[in-house]
Amino acid sequence: MSDHRLTFKEMCARFDVTPRTLRYYEYIELLSPEREGRTRFYTGREVARMTLILRGRRFGFSLEEIRQWLTLYDEKGSTAQLRTMIEMADRQLLALTEERDRIGRTIAELQALRDEVAKSLD
């Protein structure tokens, strides 16, 4: 991204988040906008971090996991961050697969019960 900076309102609109969400991400130090007086400006770095935060949330990672992962880049560089992402993704893929299997079993049980009840009405 160029030197273009987004305002607080533009950042909320771009990512379709509430002002409360954006302020919370700042409070827990996921984002660190530039400040000029009381006005916040978000640089390309913050836009990229917000993209990663929202992607991480969509994949089911906690905000603390995301915060630690983003901090890792600042402290140890991209290679360490990428290796950690693989580990995190492997754990989350396993958890999501197990959840999908549980949901599949529950759907099958509910379908069987529904069919049994419907059959008793005939």
**pLDDT band, residue 23 (cuts 50/70/90):** very high
d(CA 74, CA 71): 5
CB 72 within 8 A of CB 84: yes
What average pLDDT score do residues 18-45 get? 95
Neighbours of 11 (CB within 10 A): 22
The answer to whether 89 and 107 have CB atoms below 8 angstroms apart is no
With a cut of 70, say whether residue 1 has pLDDT above it: no
Q: What is the mean pLDDT of residues 54-82?
A: 91
pLDDT of residue 3: 67
pLDDT(120) > 90: yes
> What is the predicted pLDDT for the residue at 78?
87
CATH architecture assigned to 6-121: Orthogonal Bundle (1.10)
Residue 2 has pLDDT above 80, yes or no: no
pTM of the model: 0.80
Residue 73, pLDDT > 90, answer no
| Sheet with strand 34-36: strands edge to edge | 6-7, 39-42, 34-36
Residue 101 has pLDDT above 80, yes or no: yes
Q: What's the rounded mean pLDDT across residues 64-73?
A: 90
In the prediction, which pLDDT does 102 show?
Answer: 98
Using a 10 angstrom Cβ sphere, with 0-12 exposed, 13-18 middle and 19 or more buried, the burial of residue 66 is buried
